[in-house]
Amino acid sequence: MKLVITPRSPKSRKFPITLDLAGSPATVRVDDVQAAIAKQFPQLNPDRQRLTVDKLVLESGKTLSEFGLKDGDSVTFKDLGPQISWRTVFLIEYGGPLLIHPLVYYLPTLFYGKSFEHSWMQTVTYWMVILHFLKREYETVFVHRFSHGTMPFRNVFKNSAHYHLLSGINLAYWVYGPWNAAGAALAERSDAIVYGCLALFIFAELSNYHTHVTLRNLRPPGTRVRKIPRGYGFDWVSCPNYFFETLSWLAISILTMSWSAHLFFAVAVGQMYLWALKKHRGYRKEFTDYPRGRKAIFPFIA
C-alpha cells in the first residue's frame, strides 16, 4: 500500500514523501511506517516522530486500519526533536535535591556566612528529604517501567526546575538556616511532633513504594499492557502513589513549619492532583468495568 507523509510545517524540506509499504492497512502497523521514515532519514528515529490523522495521534502497535486509513491516504508528520529517556530525566530531576541539600546542610559558611550547630528538627528533616529522593532514584532504576520511552530533550530543564528550585534550593536554604539552628526558638519541636511526623513519613514512603511495585507488576517487561490496578491503596483512589507522596511532604511541612516547605507542598500537591484527575479519567474511559467508587487522589473526597 502507499501512504503519503505530509509535514506539519510548510517549511519542511524533507516532506511530503510517499511510502510504499508491504501489506494492507489491516496488516501494516504504525511502527512499520515509523521504521520506513527512519530508513529514509536516519536522524528521525521513531521516538522523534509524531504521526497524526485529523489531530488523532497514531499509536505504536496499532494497524493503520484501526485509524480508518486506506491505500493512498495521508498522515501528518511532526519532528519532536532530540529525545532523552524518561529514566534519565527522572535521575536528573531527583539528583538535584540529592546534591543541593548536602551542600547547604554541610557547608553553612558558604551559604550563610557562618557555622552553627543544626537543630534536631533540621537534622531529621535533612534525612527525610535525602531518603525520599534516594528512594525515588532507586525506583527509577529498579522499579519503574515506562509506557513512553523518551521525551523531548528541551523539556528536561522545565521538568527539573520543580525539583531543583522548589524542593532543592528553596527548601534547603530556608530550612537549614541559622534561624532554625540548635537553641533557636523557631526550631523548638516537641518529641510528639518529631516522632509523629517521622512515623507519618515512614508509613507514606513505604506505602508509596508498595503502589509503585503494584504498577510495575501490571506491565510485563517490554510491553505496553494496561490493566486496572487493584489492591492496597487502589481500592480507595486511582493514584495512591500521589496520595501517599502527599502525606510524605505533609509530614515534612508540619515538621519544619517553614513557608518554603508549605510552598513546595502546595505546588506539588496541586500538580499531582491534576495528574491524578487525568489518569482517573483515562482509566474510566479505557475500562468499562472500572470501579465507580474510586476517587482520583484523596480517599472519599476527590
pLDDT tens-digit map of 121-162: 999 999 999 999 999 999 999 998 876 677 788 888 888 998
Instruction: Give the separation between CA 241 and CA 212, rounded to whole angstroms.
Output: 7
The residues, any chain, with a CB within 8 Å of residue 210's CB and separated by 6 or more, are 232, 233
Question: Residue 172 is placed in which grid cell?
Answer: 534547603
Q: What pLDDT is attached to residue 148?
A: 66
User: Do residue 71 and residue 109 come from a single domain?
Assistant: no
CA distances from 273 to 95, 118, 240 (A): 24, 34, 11
Cα angle 132-133-139, degrees, rounded to a multiple of 5? 95
Q: How many CB atoms are closer than 10 A to CB 75?
A: 20
Asked whether residue 141 is domain-assigned, the answer is yes
Q: Which of 75-89, 204-218, 226-240, 251-265 has the lowest mean pLDDT?
A: 75-89
Beta strands 74-79 and 2-7: pairing type? parallel
Residue 269 forms beta bridges with which residues? none
pLDDT in tens, 16-59: 899 999 989 899 999 999 999 999 999 898 888 999 998 888 98
Backbone angles phi, psi at 164, to 5 degrees: -70, -40
User: Which span out of 63-67, 87-91, 246-250 was modeled with the highest average pLDDT?
Assistant: 246-250
Number of folded domains that form the chain: 2
pTM of the model: 0.83
Within-domain flag for 245: yes
Confidence of residue 288 (pLDDT cuts 50, 70, 90): very high
Alpha carbon 161 to its chain's center: 13
Closest CA to 122 of 108, 137, 138: 108
Listed residue (143, 106, 122) closest to 188, CA to CA: 122
Alpha carbon separation from 5 to 2, 37, 49, 56 (Å, rounded): 10, 9, 11, 15
Q: What is the three-class DSSP state of 158?
A: helix
Residue 112: pLDDT above 80? yes
Residue 298 included in any domain: no
41 phi/psi in degrees, rounded to 5: -130, 85
3-state DSSP assignment of residue 236: coil
CB count within 10 Å of CB 133 equals: 20
204 with 221, same domain? yes
Confidence of residue 275 (pLDDT cuts 50, 70, 90): very high
Lowest model confidence (mean pLDDT) among 101-110, 159-168, 261-270: 159-168
The answer to the question of residue 39 being in a domain is: yes
Domain boundary among 81, 106, 121: 81
Q: Where are the beta strands (DSSP E) in the chain?
A: 2-7, 17-20, 49-53, 56-57, 74-79, 83-85, 150-152
User: Does 82 sit behind a cis peptide bond, omega within 30 degrees of 0 on the bond before it?
Assistant: no
Domain with 143, as residue range(s), is 84-286
58, 150: one domain: no
Residue 222: band (very low, low, confident or very high) from pLDDT cuts 50, 70, 90: low
Residues 27 and 145 in one domain: no
Identify whether 152 is part of a domain: yes
Please give the share of the chain, as a percent, with pLDDT higher than 70: 98
Residues 262-275: what's their mean pLDDT? 96
